Amino acid sequence: MHRTALITGGSQGLGRTVAEFLAAQGYDLVITARHEEELAAAARELRRHGGRVFALTGDVADPGHRQYLAQSARGLRRLDILLNNASTLGATPLPQLIDYPLDELDDAFRINVAAPLALVREVFPLLEESGGLIVNVTSDAALGGYPGWGGYGLTKAALDLASLTLANELRDRGIGVVAVDPGDLRTRMHQAAFPGEDISDRPLPQVTLPFWAWLFGQPREAVTGRRYRAQADRWEVNAAALDEVAV
């Protein structure tokens, strides 16, 4: 039986890059994003690798859509990887935390924290049966306290703690959980954080491929509970490495 992965935010950027990598490795995929045409185009390209690709347009913050994703994953009869990649930058232009609109902060937590956790719940039986790996995409904004990044950073710090807690709780049930900071990338979200600025000096998401190839080849018990930086010289973030975080 083919290995399978569910990837949110899978139509472009990092999610699309990881989906392409896994499809080339023979994975069947469930991918989701909010923009139908982009998602359909991504699915057509991914299917060229020969695997099954279910492309489901919707918002991961919508409970009905999460149920639909879980139903599609059940149609593939297993789930080896859940990549919680979809997220929102929150209020833009990036406001200082003291001025952050609280309704938009609520939305950011709903999308960046509650939705990934809720999706884990929806597909939990499949993950447990397959001994799957949950990958939550985080950011150095969770650690750095950078001016203007407070709202987004708060959500990613919460996701980091959720990842570690889940890893500790699910370790004995055979499920691995990691948090991965992909680093600054030339993506639509990163451009939105710097409107009008040239971000062509940032690398494309493909720069992270060596990390993903390594991570997905590791035993779940060897990586669970860890936080990684996909572009760093040393991928694993430990207590000593936290002092080295850079923008």
HSE-up of 228 (CA within 13 Å, CB side)? 23
Q: Tokens for 124?
A: 């939990």
| SS3 at position 13 | helix
Among 27, 68, 100, 152, which one carries the catalytic annotation?
152
- Rounded to 5°, the CA angle 89-92-98 comes to 95
Identify the residue whose tokens are 């971000």: 199
* Phi, psi torsion values for 209, nearest 5 degrees: -60, -40
Tokens coding 164: 């570690």
Neighbours of 229 (CB within 10 A): 23
Give the residue from 215, 211, 228 showing the smallest Cα distance to 139: 228
∠ CA 63-119-129 to the nearest 5 degrees? 130
Asked about 27 being catalytic, the answer comes back as no
Query: Omega into 195 within 30° of 0, i.e. cis?
Result: no
Q: In 10 A of CB 195, how many CB atoms?
A: 9
Residue 25's closest CA among 228, 235, 219, 212? Answer: 212
How many Å apart are CA 218 and CA 83, to the nearest integer? Answer: 16
Residue 216 and residue 132: Cα distance in Å, rounded?
A: 10
Please list the active-site residues. 152
